[in-house]
Amino acid sequence: MNGRRVVSPLASSQDPNLSVILSGATASRSEAVAESKDPYLKKKASRLSPQARGFLRLLHLLLFCLALLCLALLATAAYAQGGELRFCLRNEPKTFDPLLVDDDSSLSIRYLTGGVLIRANRKTQQLEPELAESWKLSKDGKQITFKLRRGILFSDGTPFSTDDVAYTMQRLMDPNLHSSTGDAFRSGAGAVTTLKPGPDQITVVFPAPIVGLDALFDQVAIMSAHSSKKEGAVLGPFMVAEYKAGSSVLLKRNPNYWKKDAQGHRLPYLDSIHLDIQPNRDVEMLRFKRGELDLINVIDSDYFDKLAAISPQLVHDAGASLDAEFLWFNQVASAPIPPYKRAWFRSTNFRRAVSQAINRDDLSRIVYNGHAQPAVGPVSPANKFWFNSRLHPEAHNPDAALKRLQADGFHLQNGTLKDKEGNTVEFSIVTNASMKPRERVAVLIQEDLSQIGIKVNVVTLDFPSLLERISQKFNYEAAILGFRNVDLDPNGQMTIWLSSADNHAWNPQQKSPETAWEAEIDNLMRAQASTSDPKKRKQSFDRVQEIVYDQAPFIYLVNQNALSAVSTSVEGASPVILHPQTYWNAERLTLKANARASR
């Protein structure tokens, strides 16, 4: 009976090894029963000495105990807790404040440490309850009511309550904070308020309807209203334990994390995550090959192909991603650039001519080895519902580009393009150093534009210096970067397209739209965010894509594939196209025993 009580719960396991051991253990006991019923065997057994019979009983007991031990070992093998996952951040995190995140490194840390009310499952792309066990949207789309889970603590032991949600929303929507996350919720003029209909319930009220409102909360990490640690008190699976500027960020398991797996084990399985700050891709790849790193979340196509040739089991191509690389010109009125250059950059014909002069097929083929496609606009074709299929990538056409330029008074003089005042057309493109694909893209654009008489200088900067130039001092002429799309819904792009937004990169934080087309985009973005009719939303955002195509504030270049690399020592990884591609389920990732032992 004791044996049945131990073995029976495990017999339902789907592990084939368990079933083999169980059947073997059962057979041994059956044979023992059969032995007692066979007259011949009984007669033969009766001839055994008492010492021999005692030895056989002891042997059967030892074999049975060994079977139970094997079962226990297999049962615990699926629960391989402990160890440290290691990978790289490409740049220094700008902030640890989850409401001020607008760079990749800070976004990664927020994902791993921040607790959210609702989480979009990166694999299924479905919304799932997190800190809120349920939620309800009002019919008018202006309110969302959350029912919070009870008994949850922040990492420092502070209780989680409706006060924290109210505090987070109040701070998020403060216009003085300039939160790009908050911009996605700005559907109309007026304040955002909160109500508390019950001890574990909170209602957030917006001044105008927001379609897809619940999905936006995937990006809102709840902060403590009462903890003295401020952003140091978190509700996610990990917490920041150590930060060495320019070197690394160490995340440790949140001891108060509320989730458990199906067997009742506390998540996360890992003890810690060590994030090295390493912008050099060569160094990152070398360390990955040595086994010093466990994954590369986004791997460049050159490295992908080289690694695939020798270790194909390590690389993953999840297909076309939602992300795009693009070029834009500085149109900020106060920027320290000559007025005649600003006039070029504000000319639609100039921007479209530059776009027509760029050979996107070459960019995809030469720079990305075919792991990319020419981009059309702000939505990747991978986002099938929201992509405007009437639009097509700008064709490479230098002759058409020159005709556009001539319409604005530009002309060729001895192979050099001059504006109508005789100024030589020359500008610099800045991008981040150690990002080889972007550097190579910039060089190819430099070559393409030389064919229409434009001289381009390529300048690479470390990422903090680059961000300071493009978002604070506005001391640049043109830039090549990309936005990380973490949401299929266009509401996630409000922070880019609203003229008042911080990430309206070519001319941010406008008090009122400076052009008619920007005013139209503002209206369309608010319109699509305030109706529940999918067709009307689609119609509005299709029009936004058409305006962006015609005006070219961003000159979209390529959509890359979601390429990654994961060590075989990592168990549970399932790369996807949405950020973060390889560690979206970090709380359930485990390391094999040999990897844990080596650390």
Residues 298-347: tens digit of each pLDDT: 999 999 999 999 999 999 999 889 989 999 999 999 999 999 999 999 99
Peptide bond into 9 cis (omega under 30): no
**Across 86-102, average pLDDT:** 95
- Tell me the C-alpha distance between 431 and 477, whole Å: 11
Quote the tokens at residue 16. 């084939």
Give 556-566 pLDDT, tens digit per residue: 999 999 999 99
Q: Is the pLDDT of residue 54 over 80?
A: no
Distance separating alpha carbons of residues 2 and 180, to the nearest angstrom: 61
Instruction: Please state, in angstroms and rounded to a whole number, the distance separating the CA atoms of residues 520 and 498.
Output: 10
Q: Which two tokens stand for residue 461?
A: 């900067």
**pLDDT above 80 (res 359):** yes
Specify the CATH architecture of the domain 320-561: Roll (3.10)
Number of Cβ within 10 Å of residue 105's Cβ equals 20
Residues contacting residue 352 through CB under 8 Å, at least 6 positions apart: 394, 401, 404, 550, 552
Handedness of CA 169, 170, 173, 179 (dihedral sign): negative
* CATH number of this structure's domain 115-235: 3.90.76.10
Q: Contact 453/417 with Cβ under 8 angstroms?
A: yes
The terminus-to-terminus CA distance of the chain in angstroms comes to 42
Buried b (16+ CB within 10 A) or exposed e, 475-504: ebbbbbbbbbbbbbbbbbbbbbbbbbbbbb
Higher pLDDT, 358 or 17: 358
H or E element at residue 525: helix 516-529
Residues of the chain with CATH 3.90.76.10: 115-235
Distance between CA atoms of residues 423 and 86, nearest Å:
52
d(CA 148, CA 135): 9
pTM of the model: 0.74
Contact 571, 591 (CB under 8 A): yes
Closest CA to 251 of 165, 158, 155: 155
Give 449-491 pLDDT, tens digit per residue.
999 999 999 999 998 899 999 999 999 999 999 877 777 889 8
Q: Which 3 state secondary structure label does DSSP give 443?
A: helix
DSSP character string of 448-494: HHHTTT-EEEEEEE-HHHHHHIIIII---SEEEEEE----SSGGGGH
Q: In the chain, which residues fall in CATH 3.10.105.10?
A: 320-561
- The Cα 290–Cα 416 span in angstroms is 50
Q: Give the phi and the psi of residue 206 in degrees, each rounded to 5.
A: -105, 155
Place of tokens 């056989």: 56
What is the overall mean pLDDT for the chain?
Answer: 88
Q: What is the pLDDT of residues 159-182, one digit of tens each?
A: 999 999 999 999 999 999 999 899
- The pLDDT score that the predictor gives to residue 533 is 86
